Amino acid sequence: MSLPSTGRPVILRVLALVTTLLVLAAACGANGRSTDSGAETEAATATQAGEAGESGEADPAVVGSGAEGHPATTPDSAADPVAEGSVAPTSSAPSTTTGPPAEEDPPLPVRCRGIDLPLQPREITFVLQGRLFAVDFGGTLRCLADVRIDKEIVPVSNLRWSPQSDAALLDQGRVITMGGGGRSGGDASYDGADFSVPSGTALIWAEEGRIALASTTREGFQILAGPVPADTAPEEEFVVEGVVYHPDGLHLLVWGRDGATGRSRLLVTAENGTAPALLMESDSAVISDVVVTPDGATVLYVLSADDGRELRALDLEAATLVDESGDEPVRSLPPVRPEDTTLLYEGVRPLGRVVPEPDGPRVLFAEGSCEAGSEVLLVDLEEGGYEIAAAPGVSGVPIGFLTHGSVVIEGFGETCGSPGPLLGVDVDSGDVETVMPRVEVASMRVMRSQPRFNLLDVEMTPAGYGPSPDTPSG
């Protein structure tokens, strides 16, 4: 990718040839899906001049993109980052960002042709001044969507993409889909919400201790039937703290607290939250920030205790037992304890923003907070989890992988919650290049492949909660 303002960065220029081959392969299998980016990008200054000649005033969403007068992004949560294991900015305290010198924002395209299919298997996207942009490996910026509300610029602090890359999730459950559809949201918290797998036609998240589900094209949401206790009082219910889809699209991984025992548990349920099975249980530490690697084989999670934080990995594939004594092999996955899983990293500061490599063994995560400084670290699952600093001296959070050796990091701004730099980092050489001087929020748009490991027909230990698989959700 080349810088929109200063030319092609050294660490990304070498990706062009490899990416061309990947793009050709992806295009052949797209079944007629269009990858035309629309039209040429236009400089904001030139467009403003034309619009001013027609209307007499420029659109405030496209008048420059400098920090002056720019609305600050809203923090994700005001909770204690140590207690929550979060590294998101939580106040307006000065950050400790270090990195490349500040640069002027390049001209931004303002003609938004709508969300199209990605031009590469991995594409950087970001929000700035009320617009959603994508930048390709050649450094070309495309405006994908106008994300203002009633032509008013609103802060955006969340950006996620559906598995098919045809819909974007913003703050408070707001969704923009290909073709201009979506939903406005705002009727629930939507904290930690993400798309269903593989279709991306629904959102799922934890709402007031239960699993919530919403359509990406209709307003409103529903609470799923499980997991709830079979024969216990309401105060002894299982309190859901987070939920993610397994990449097989048939199961959910649900973590939370058992009301009767106070233990932190990780469950596996059917897609509608029923038939909960126990995967992991901890007596004293708290399980959080659960992520499943794209191949479906490994569960990454943060374990928090009074004396520190740990990033751990559970190899589902290795933990699954196969009994071949009968006519047909029987697969089973017994419950495990956290101490029986692989320790990848331990420290005393908050851990979070765990990002696995789409098709490799590397994992990015952040340690720290905006106020005290946050270091982006990298571990390799195949090399025993010895961590390295992805970008020494840069305070921020990981966004994702461009290639096996290059990553994208969002640095913190001058104050926590203000726009910060978007950086490309070669983790082998340590070279850091500025992709954009300032962004509100960024996300990798990735073309996902089918997982090689699934939980279909794997026998697991019932967790002792209802309802049964036959109970309808709603």
pLDDT in tens, 195-250: 999 999 999 999 999 999 999 999 999 998 778 655 555 666 789 999 999 999 99
Residue tagged 């904001």 (tokens): 44
Residue 56 pLDDT grade (very low, low, confident, very high; cuts 50, 70, 90)? very low
25 φ/ψ angles, rounded to the nearest 5 degrees: -65, -40
What pLDDT was estimated at residue 235?
A: 61
Q: What does the H/E/C string look like for the chain?
A: CCECCCECCHHHHCHHHHHHHHHHHHHHCCCCCCCCCCCCCCCHHHHHHHHHHHHCCCCHHHCCCCCCCCCCCCCCCCCCHHHHCCCCCCCCCECCCCCCCCCCCCCCCCCCCCCCCCCCCEEEEEEECCEEEEECCCCCEEEEEECCECCECCCCCCCEECCCCCEEECHHHCEEECCCCEECCCCCCCCCCEECCCCCCEEEEEECCEEEEEECCCCCCEECCCCEECCCCHHHCEEEEEEEECCCCCEEEEEEEECCCCCEEEEEEECCCCCCEEEEEECCCEEEEEEECCCCCEEEEEEEECCEEEEEEEEHHHHCEEECCCCCCEEEECCECHHHCEEEEEECCCEEEEEECCCCCEEEEEEEECCCEEEEEEEEHHHCCCCEECCCCCEEEEEEECCCCEEEEEECCCECCCCEEEEEEECCCCCEEEEEEEECEEEEEECCCCCCCCCCCEEECECCEECCCCCCCC
What pLDDT was estimated at residue 328?
A: 87
On the question of pLDDT at 451 being above 90, the answer is: yes
Neighbours of 71 (CB within 10 A): 15
Q: Is 68 exposed, middle or buried (0-12, 13-18, 19+ CB in 10 A)?
A: exposed
On the question of pLDDT at 102 being above 70, the answer is: no
Distance CA 364, CA 163 (A): 20
What pLDDT was estimated at residue 116?
A: 87
Distance CA 424, CA 285 (A): 35
What pLDDT was estimated at residue 465?
A: 77
What pLDDT was estimated at residue 326?
A: 85
Contact, 223 vs 211, CB < 8 A? yes
- CA torsion through residues 320, 325, 329, 330, sign: negative
Report the pLDDT averaged over residues 128-148.
91
Distance CA 415, CA 92 (A): 5
Distance CA 288, CA 85 (A): 8
Strands 465-466, 182-183: parallel, antiparallel or unpaired by DSSP? unpaired
On the question of pLDDT at 45 being above 60, the answer is: no
Residue tagged 């002792």 (tokens): 464
% pLDDT > 70, the chain: 74
On the question of pLDDT at 137 being above 90, the answer is: no
What pLDDT was estimated at residue 229?
A: 59
What pLDDT was estimated at residue 227?
A: 81
What pLDDT was estimated at residue 59?
A: 46
More confident residue, 382 or 42: 382
Please tell me the least confidently modeled range out of 294-308, 379-393, 416-430: 379-393
Residue 110 pLDDT grade (very low, low, confident, very high; cuts 50, 70, 90)? confident
On the question of pLDDT at 27 being above 60, the answer is: no
Q: Is the preceding omega at residue 198 within 30 degrees of 0, hence cis?
A: yes
Please tell me the least confidently modeled range out of 29-38, 303-312, 389-398, 408-417: 29-38
Distance CA 256, CA 240 (A): 5
Please tell me the least confidently modeled range out of 18-27, 164-173, 193-202, 357-366: 18-27
**How far apart, in Å, are the Cα atoms of 255 and each of 258, 278, 344?**
10, 10, 20
Q: What is the pLDDT of residues 67-93, one digit of tens each?
A: 333 333 333 333 333 333 334 443 444
Q: What is the pLDDT of residues 267-311, one digit of tens each?
A: 999 998 888 999 999 999 999 999 999 999 999 999 999 999 999
On the question of pLDDT at 46 being above 70, the answer is: no
Residue 460 pLDDT grade (very low, low, confident, very high; cuts 50, 70, 90)? very high
Report the pLDDT averaged over residues 161-174.
96
On the question of pLDDT at 29 being above 90, the answer is: no
Residue tagged 């295009």 (tokens): 27
Distance CA 111, CA 199 (A): 29
Distance CA 472, CA 474 (A): 7
Distance CA 217, CA 351 (A): 34
Distance CA 407, CA 444 (A): 10
% pLDDT > 90, the chain: 62
On the question of pLDDT at 49 being above 50, the answer is: no
What pLDDT was estimated at residue 231?
A: 54
Residue 115 pLDDT grade (very low, low, confident, very high; cuts 50, 70, 90)? very high
On the question of pLDDT at 25 being above 50, the answer is: no
Please tell me the least confidently modeled range out of 105-119, 290-304, 439-453: 105-119
More confident residue, 64 or 214: 214
Residue 103 pLDDT grade (very low, low, confident, very high; cuts 50, 70, 90)? low
Distance CA 300, CA 302 (A): 7
Choose among 407, 313, 404, 409: nearest CA to 359: 404
Distance spanning both ends of the chain, measured CA to CA = 46
Contact, 373 vs 316, CB < 8 A? no
More confident residue, 146 or 34: 146
Mean pLDDT, the chain, integer: 80
Distance CA 320, CA 324 (A): 13
Report the pLDDT averaged over residues 430-442.
95
